[in-house]
Amino acid sequence: MTQHIVVVTAGLTVPSSTRLLADQIAEATSAQVSARGESVEMAYVELREVAAELATFMVTGGIPTPRLTALREQVAAADGLIAVTPVFNASFSGLFKMFFDALDPDGLTGTPVLIAATAGTARHSLVLDHAMRPLFAYLRAVVVPTGVFAATEDFGSHGLSDRITRAASELAAAVLSQGDYGVGGFAPDLAARPRRTSGTQVESDVTPFGDLLRGHSGTD
C-alpha cells in the first residue's frame, strides 16, 4: 500500500533554504520507506501560496476557501507529515503557525511527524524542542525523536545529512507501524484508535439524537 506523506514548508523566498531542507528530508524519507519494501508518495504544501487564504480564514471566523479546504483534507488524510519552518524571532514563522491553527484540532491526532527548521545561526536550534515539539504534542501528533535543524553553515557539513537520515529512518518506521493496535492473539481495542478529522465536512455519520439526549431528558 502506498504511504502518503505531506511535506509542509513555510519558506518565503524562491529558492528557499527551508524548501531545500524539506526536499532533502523528503528524499531521505522516500529512500527509507522504499528500503522497507513499501512505496511512498510525497505531496508538497508551500504555505506561501496560501498566505492570503490563511489570512481570510483567520479574519472571517474560518470561512472555508477551496484551496485551504483541500489542504486541510490532505493533511488530515496523510500517513505522515514533514513540517519545515524558518526561524523568525526565536520561533516558527507566523505563516507556519497560521496553517496549523487552521487545521482541525483532531487533524493530526496520532500522525507521525518529523519536525525541521532553518535559521541563519545555530543559536536558534532549540526552536525544535521549545516551539515545534510542544505545538505537535498539543495536536496529539507523534513527533519522531530526531528533529532536523539547519543553520546556514550546516549546509556545508556532513553532520546534517546524518541527522536527516536518522530522522527519516524514524519517520519511515513510525509511518509503517501505524494501524497496528493488536498484539498476536488479542483483538485490537478499536475504540482506542486515534480519531482524525479534517473538520471540513458536515459529519455524515451524525450522532443519533437518542444518544445526545441520554442523561439530559430530565427523567433518567
Partner 1 sequence: MQFGIFSVGDVTEDPTTGRMVSEGERIELMTKVALKAEEVGLDVFATGEHHNPPFVVSSPTTHLAYIAAKTEKLLLSTSTTLITTNDPVKIAEDYAFLQHLSGGRVDLMMGRGNTGPVYPWFGKDIRDGIKLAVENYHLLRKLWREPQVNWQGQFRTPLQGYTSTPAPLDGTPPFVWHGSIRSSEIAEQAAYYGDGFFHNHIFWNKEHTEAMVRLYRRRFEHYGHGAADQAYVGLGGQVFMASTEAEAKRVYRPYFDNAPVYGHGPSLEDYSEMTPLTVGTPEQVIERTLGFADYVGDYQRQLFLADHAGLPESLVLEQVEMLGTEVVPVLRQEFERRRPAHVPSDPPTHASLVAAGPDAPHHLVEPARARAEELAAAKVDA
Torsion of CA 65, 40, 152, 127, to 10 degrees: 60
Q: Which is nearer to partner 1, 89 or 217 (CB)?
A: 217
Q: Does 39 bind partner 1 (CB under 8 A)?
A: no
215 part of the interface to partner 1, by CB under 8 A: yes
Give 92 or 99: the residue with its C-beta nearer to partner 1. 99
Residue from 23, 33, 35 nearest 3 by CA: 33
- Minimum CB separation of residue 103 from partner 1 in Å reads 15
How far does CA 103 lie from the centroid of its chain?
A: 10
The least distance separating partner 1 from the CB of residue 206, rounded to whole angstroms, comes to 5
Task: Give the contact letters, 50-79, x = binds to partner 1 (CB under 8 A), - = no.
Answer: -----xx-xxxx-xxx--------------
Q: Is 195 in the site for partner 1 (CB under 8 A)?
A: no
Smallest distance, partner 1 to C-beta of residue 69, A: 9
β-pairing, 142-143 vs 148-151, is unpaired
Cα–Cα dist 60/46, whole Å: 22
* 197 is a contact residue toward partner 1 (CB under 8 A): no
Asked if residues 55 and 194 have their Cβ atoms less than 8 Å apart, the reply is no
Binding site for partner 1 (CB under 8 A): 55-56, 58-61, 63-65, 201-204, 206-210, 212-213, 215-219
